[in-house]
Structures are given as C-alpha cells and as structure tokens.
Structure 1
Amino acid sequence: MRRAVEGLATPHPLGRQLPAIYAADDFAQRLLAALDSVVAPVHVTLDNLWAYLDPQLAPADFVDWLGGWVAADAAIDSPAARREAVRRAVELHRVRGTGRGLAEQVRMAFGVTAEVVDSGGTTWSLTPGAELPGSPEPSMTVRVHPAGGDPVPAARLRELIEANRPAHVTYTVEILSAAPGDTAPADPR
C-alpha cells in the first residue's frame, strides 16, 4: 500500500453519499472528510493499478516487488536496468543457463559485453559412431569486455555466474583490459 499523499482529494467523497438528513450535519461531514483523506490513496492506487503493474511506470520500490513476482535478478543495482530485468523476465527465463542468457545477464547487471564460450557442441552424421564435438567434461569461459575502461567487480561477476550457470558446468572468468590481447588472470572454477 502506498503512503498517504498530503492534500490528496478523493474522487468519491463520502459526505456526498450520506442521506439528506446528514448532508447538512457539520460533525458528520467533518468526520467523513477525515476518512476521505485515509481512503483517497486507495482510490488513487486502484484507479492507476495498470501503471503499478508496468515496470516502466511503477514506483522504484514497487518495481522491486514486481521483480519478486517474476523472479527477476535482484543483484542489479541500476534502477533502469532493474526495470528492464522485470520487463524482460519471461524472455530471460527462457534462455537461463545458456551462453546467450548468461551474456545477457552480465550485460544487464554490469553494462558490459560478455562472450560465453562453452565446451559442448552438436552435430549430426550419417555415419554411426562418428566423432562427437566439444569435450566430454562440461566447462565454459566467460570473457568480459569492459566498456570505456570501467572496472568490473570480479566478485559480483562470479556471484552472478554462479547463480545463472548450469550447476554441473565449471567456469573460468576472464576480464579483458582495454588494450587488445591483455587479459586479467583467469579465475578457474
């Protein structure tokens, strides 16, 4: 429930709904005017409920609540990125655990480009017993390309990867520097 807004008028004053005998009663009108100030935020909220359910228009604290409904990533700090995560929650859940989904999660959380390379692969063959692609042990490498030399918090990046990778897949994080070919030390997991 939203807090009361100072001076907010109700679109449906209770005093107007009284029988004629009480309409002229000053005490009844003052009592109901006090109740109107309590009920006015309820009317305003219900009249604008559609805006509360739209992550682009909802108040910031309500966006966090909506994020809980759709299991949007709570680790995102930026209010604009948080709204985007709530708005795109269904789309992001469809690709969760994939390289594309993980790269998108990193982009939304940190505003950087990520490249996810995994050890798996698919193929088809007319020949039985053909060589399988990829490696037998599942693993992935996440390469992060910081934008404009801004540092990426490595601990938070690892937490995000831990929460969104498949549980059986080991990973390595590479935070690339601005100079081509320079990489920070890899963190094998």
Structure 2
Amino acid sequence: MRISEGIPLGGLSFATSPHIATDVPLRSSLVLHPGEPSELIVQVKNLVQHNLRLRLRVEGFPTEWCQLGTESRSLSPGTQMDAVLYFQVPATFFEDQEALRPGNKEYLELNFRCRIVVHIDPDTEQEQVQDAEFGLYIRPYTAYMDFLPVLYREVDFIGRFMKIFEEAYQPVIDSFNVMWANLDPLTAPRALLPFLAHWVAWPVDSIWNLHTSRRLIRRAVELYRWRGTRKGLRLYLHLYTGLPLDEHLPNEAEKHISITEPFGKGFVLREAYLGEAVLGGGQPYHFMIRLRPDRPNSIDELLVRRIIDQEKPAFCTYELFIENLYVSPLSTTPNQTL
C-alpha cells in the first residue's frame, strides 16, 4: 500500500459518549487509488466498569469496496480494540461507464462523506449508537509526482493536473520502451511480419503457418549463410518440422534429421572377394535424408521435398525417407515403418 501524499480535506467529528472512546488520526480523510488496497484503523476503548457488546458498520459509499475486521464483538472494562476498514476500489473505476449512466448520475462521484457507526449493546432496549465521520476521495495515481518537490506533492490539485500529462505522454513512452518487441519476428504484431520479411528478402508464403513463418523470418539470414550445405538444410528442416538438431550425437544415422552420403571404397585390389566386390564409389553428388518424427503423419512430404529442392545444390540428387514410430496393438515395443 502507498501512503497518500495529497489529502483534499481533513477533519473528523465524533459524538461524545461516557461509555466509549474512539481514537483516529487528526487527518481522518483517506485517498483511494483504484486497484490498490488501503486501510483505515479505528481504536475503540471501553470507558465503563462492565463489559460492552459492540457491532460496527460503515456507510456512505458502495459497500462492496470495504471489508470490516474487528478483534472481537465485546470489550472488557478499560480495554481497547482495533477495527480495521479494508478498502479496494475496482481498477476500472474511471473507465466504468455505468457510473456515468444518465439514469443515475451525470457525473462520476469522487468524494464520499462516510460514517463509521458503533452500536453498543445491540438487540437490547438499552442500545446506544455512536458514530464518527471520515472522508474518502477517489484519485488516479500518477508516477509523475515523483519528479516534483515534496511541497507540490502535498497538493491534491497538482496530482490530478499531472495525471493529464501522464495520460497523454505515457502511452508513447511505453511504446518506445517495447519497440524491440515490434522488431523481433517472434513477438511482432502479425501485420508487421510482411515488413520484417521484406527487410531480409524472405518470401511470404501462405503454406507456412504463423508460428513457422516467425521462426523462418528470424533465422532467414542464417539460412542464407548456410544455403547449399548439410548444416543449412538440416536447420531449415528443423525450423519446419520442429525435430531436434541432435548436435550432441556424433553418429549421423542416429539423429532425428539424418543426412548421409553413400560413400564407399569402391573396387580395391587385394581386398575384393567374389560376390562382395563393388565397382565404383556409389552415385556421385547423391545424399539420403531420413526424418524420424515422434508422431506419425505429422510431416507433409511434398513440403519437405520443396524445401530440399530449394536448399540443395542444383546438380545433387537425393532420397527421402520419413520413418514413423508406432506401437503395435499386439506388442509393447515400437516398430519402424517407411
């Protein structure tokens, strides 16, 4: 809770009573900021030589704003207790158009003259009622008061006057503070994505969903740098499929995105045996791609081939295998299919 700096009005009047005394600060007005909790403490003391049963209530403002808490409902002779009023004004108080409805009021009420009422020995013929008045003032909080000398912070009008400038300039300042988010494809508004794509010469294609488009635009320069290489092709497939890069695995065949080349020794004298000899070193400029998704039918093969054709060197050929792992109804071990 924040201590209010500017109190519009002050003063509190108490009804005199030989039975009970109420002690509150001299400045008994409370400034409430919408959306922030505040509290007012009232001390009640028994001045007579017998027990008193008490019931407290408050009035003069919307009851849903306040909760009343007391230590007990009775006071022994010479003892005192604290009654705490917990206030919470809705955060949308100034934006709530229901408060300005012409059927009720044509203006928004900001100042409330309230009372706390103490019923002594309630539900009896000797019941007595004592009350004390206090003021509640609804004011918007402005951080611009921190830039002023303490002398000006004590004036309520200055706070409301500074709120006008805060409402006018603060949205611009907030937009400037988060400008970085508008330039990051992962957080930029959807309407800015074509502009950001134009910056990096990335074609906007309707085949990509929004999440994938953001990732591709953000990594476009890196994809250009590694185009035509195994690393660039694996990165592109990773951004589309979401499969891990598995850079920690040394064996290429164990990766979720495996790109291998069928290199062999070919025909070597003194090492070739009948039935096992291979003439030549395999198909030149040829590679194989194996994708191992965790969910079957989660990858569009035509789109994957389009990516490969775009990223590979024009003279290279390839073979594509998409392996789906599934569990057979008759077995608990996963099987591999092509």
TM-score by structure 2 length?
Answer: 0.33
In the other structure, the counterpart of 1:169 is 316
Q: CA deviation at 1:74?
A: 4.4
Instruction: Specify the SS of the correspondent of 1:149.
Output: coil
**Amino acid aligned to 1:117:** T
Residue 146 (structure 1) shift: 1.6
Query: For residue 157 of structure 1, what is the aligned residue in structure 2?
Result: 304
Answer with 1 or 2: which has the greater Rg: 2
SS of equivalent residue, structure 2 residue 319: strand
178, 186, 190: which one pairs with 1:60? Answer: 190
Shift of 1:110: 2.1
Within-5 A mapping of 1:1-189: 47=176, 50-72=180-202, 74=204, 77-112=208-243, 113-119=256-262, 135=282, 137-178=284-325, 180-183=335-338
Deviation string 1:74-118 (CA, Å, 9 cap, x unpaired) is: 456232332222222222222221112111211211223321113
Query: Given the superposition, is the C-alpha separation of residues 135 and 65 from structure 1 closer, same or farther in structure 2, using an over 3 Å criterion?
Result: farther
Inter-partner Cα distance in structure 2 for 1:136 and 1:73 = 34
Cα 1:136–1:154 change in 2 (3 A) is closer
CA gap of 1:51–1:177, structure 2 versus 1, over 3 A, is: closer
**Matched residue SS, 1:116:** strand
Q: Structure 1 residues 100, 56: closer, same or farther in 2, change over 3 A?
A: same
Contact 2:291 2:322 in 1 (8 A): yes
On the 8 A contact 2:295/2:324 being kept in 1, the answer is no
1:94-149 Cα deviation digits (max 9, x unpaired):
2221112111211211223321113579xxxxxxxxxxxx6571011111112222
- Partner Cα separation in structure 1 for residue 233 and residue 203 of structure 2: 12
C-alpha distance in 2 between matches for 1:97 and 1:139: 13
What one-letter code is carried by the residue in structure 2 that aligns with 1:79?
Answer: L
SS for the counterpart of 2:257 is strand
Q: CA RMSD in A?
A: 3.3
TM normalised by structure 1 equals: 0.56
Deviation at 1:162, TM superposition (A): 0.7
Are the aligned partners of 1:73 and 1:85 in contact in 2 as well (CA < 8 Å)? no
CA distance in 1 between partners of 2:290 and 2:204 (Å)? 23
Corresponding letter in the other structure for 1:106: L
Q: 1:159 to 1:60 in 2, by over 3 A?
A: same
Once the two structures are aligned, what percentage of the paired residues are identical?
29
Shift in CA distance, 139/71, structure 1 to aligned 2, threshold 3 Å? farther
Q: For structure 1, list consecutive stretches of 5 or more residues without a partner in the other structure.
A: 1-42, 122-133, 184-189
Q: How far apart, in 1, do the equivalents of 2:308 and 2:204 lie?
A: 14
Q: Which amino acid aligns with 2:258?
A: E
Greater relative contact order (CA < 8 Å, ≥ 6 in sequence):
1
Q: Which of 53-62 and 166-175 deviates more?
A: 53-62
- Give the unaligned 5+ runs of structure 2: 1-171, 244-255, 265-280, 327-334
3-state DSSP class of the match of 1:178?
strand
Matched residue count? 131
